[in-house]
Amino acid sequence: MLSRLLFALFILLVTATCGFWLAGSSGLWVSINGALFALLVLDYVRGYQLEKWLRQGEPHSLIKLTGFWGELLDRIRRGYKIRDQSATQHRQRLQEFLSAIQASPNGVLLLDEEGRIEWCNQTAAAHLGLHEQRDLGQHIGNLVRDPAFTRYVAQGDYSNEVIIDGRSNSFSQLLKLQLQLHPYGENKRLLLTRDVTARAQADQMRRDFVANVSHEIRTPLTVLAGFVETLQSLPLSPEEQRQYLDLMAVQAHRMQGLVSDLLTLSQLEGSPPPPVTEAVDLKPLMAQVKSDAVALSALQSDEGLPIHTLTFALPDHLHVLGSRAEIHSAVSNLVNNAVRYTPAGGKIDVVWALDTEGQAQFKVKDDGVGIAPEHLPRLSERFYRVDRSRSRESGGTGLGLAITKHIVQRHGGSFHVQSEVGAGSCFSLVFPSARVKIETEAALALASEL
């Protein structure tokens, strides 16, 4: 500003001197007025250029001004640059914020004052069956028609959440969603969705577990209490007493088996995986499993003979690294279940085999009645029964498959079920190659010499 003033005074002084020298006092005033007019015109031209540049809205276009207007132009350009940098930073932060919300396992929807969708992330769209772009501006009540959610929105009290059924591609597993609204801004609302299917399943399994354990223990206790009361209150012959005591022993054995299975399952869940130092020879193990299966099949016959066709196939010198007791429990559970639930005259194939990846596969296949698809995902749950009456008649505790699944998972393997109603079932265990060992002929010969 000072330089501009000094420049103006210099111009006035020069023009005034020239005018006075050429025309005296009259020339002095004419030259001063002319200089002022020229300065005003020059300032107007520069100001007009700056105003035109601002009006065009192109802060990065090239324009050069000197003096006061040039300094003002530089300050405006710096302001534009700072504004652009700040806007870029805000856009980056907003994009990072939106990316973080997109990565969230919970669904997020922004609703305006009328309840219309302003924005939603991919998780919310998947939970509620929405389209991220097409459904923007749609009222949430028109897209989520669950009666529980409609009542929740209408009541206006959002301190608690609401549980509704979500969109699922699986008919065997229904998605459960927890929704909660949070007011923000000027009458706007934030809707959060959370997948609580696992929690709902865990709660249901806990309730089923308590109910089933209570029922399984109460039934033999009721029988035992009835027999004890009979023995205490009625005069019975030795033959009748022996008969009642035998029935009591059966119920006591049933409770003992249930408690034993519960303890086994608890120990499996709380203990570390079995070491790989013990090589379990499957040949003698399967010989014992086959003997038990034949005896169990014979028990179901009035003549004391097996009522099933049992075939066992096992590669020579196959070993599995792990716990012999656990592996025996797992495979015997599957074989005994096949014997119990396969009708008389049925065929049961028990096979150990190696796949192309070096994994050991144990399969038990029967030609029984099969299992409906809706039961397959829950077969390994504790106490889950496809047919409760048949299970109790066969003497099972409802924990065998749960124990088997835990054992194979502890050995790093997996549990699989394939079944079709009327075509039988196939239960299989897969042990990883790290748990498989095959003794070669040379190694066996050396061991025999030693």
- Pairing label, strands 347-354, 318-321: unpaired
Distances (CA, A) of 17 to 28, 53, 69, 293: 7, 38, 28, 129
- For CA atoms 378, 380, 381, 383, give the dihedral sign: positive
- 265, exposed or middle or buried, with CB in 10 Å at 0-12, 13-18, 19+? middle
Query: Tell me: domain 273-450, CATH 3.40.50.1820, correct?
Result: no
Confidence of residue 233 (pLDDT cuts 50, 70, 90): confident
For residues 272 and 412, the answer to whether their CB atoms sit within 8 Å is: no
For residues 120 and 190, the answer to whether their CB atoms sit within 8 Å is: no
- Name the β-bridge partners of 117: 111
Cα–Cα distance measured from residue 290 to residue 376, given in angstroms and rounded to the nearest whole number = 26
Which one has a higher pLDDT value, 194 or 35? 194
Confidence of residue 170 (pLDDT cuts 50, 70, 90): low
For residues 255 and 320, the answer to whether their CB atoms sit within 8 Å is: no
* DSSP secondary structure of 253-298: HHHHHHHHHHHHHHHHHHSPPPPSS-EEEHHHHHHHHHHHHHHHHH
Cα–Cα distance measured from residue 61 to residue 84, given in angstroms and rounded to the nearest whole number = 15
**Is 83 strand, coil or helix?**
helix
Cα–Cα distance measured from residue 139 to residue 142, given in angstroms and rounded to the nearest whole number = 5
- For CA atoms 65, 68, 73, 78, give the dihedral sign: positive
Say which DSSP state 118 is in.
E
Weakest-pLDDT range from 68-72, 114-118, 338-342:
68-72
For residues 350 and 364, the answer to whether their CB atoms sit within 8 Å is: yes
The CATH homologous superfamily of the domain defined by 105-195? PAS domain (3.30.450.20)
Within 10 A of 381 (CB to CB), how many other CB atoms are there?
19
Cα–Cα distance measured from residue 218 to residue 409, given in angstroms and rounded to the nearest whole number = 32
Mean pLDDT of all residues in 242-270: 82
Confidence of residue 444 (pLDDT cuts 50, 70, 90): very low
Q: Which two tokens stand for residue 43?
A: 């300032």
Mean pLDDT of all residues in 41-56: 66
Cα–Cα distance measured from residue 38 to residue 35, given in angstroms and rounded to the nearest whole number = 5
State the fold for domain 203-271.
Helix Hairpins (1.10.287)
**Is 218 strand, coil or helix?**
helix
For residues 135 and 117, the answer to whether their CB atoms sit within 8 Å is: yes
- Phi and psi (nearest 5°) for 430? -120, 120
For residues 157 and 149, the answer to whether their CB atoms sit within 8 Å is: no
pLDDT given at position 10: 57
pLDDT given at position 235: 85
Mean pLDDT of all residues in 308-313: 92
Supply the mean pLDDT for the chain.
80
Residue 387: is its pLDDT beyond 60?
Answer: yes
Cα–Cα distance measured from residue 304 to residue 388, given in angstroms and rounded to the nearest whole number = 26
- Phi and psi (nearest 5°) for 191? -110, 120
pLDDT given at position 399: 82
For residues 65 and 49, the answer to whether their CB atoms sit within 8 Å is: yes
Which one has a higher pLDDT value, 220 or 63? 220
Element (H, E) at 440: none
Weakest-pLDDT range from 17-26, 33-42, 122-131, 257-266:
17-26
Mean pLDDT of all residues in 16-30: 57
pLDDT given at position 227: 83
- Name the β-bridge partners of 321: 279
Q: Which two tokens stand for residue 210?
A: 């308590």
For residues 433 and 276, the answer to whether their CB atoms sit within 8 Å is: no
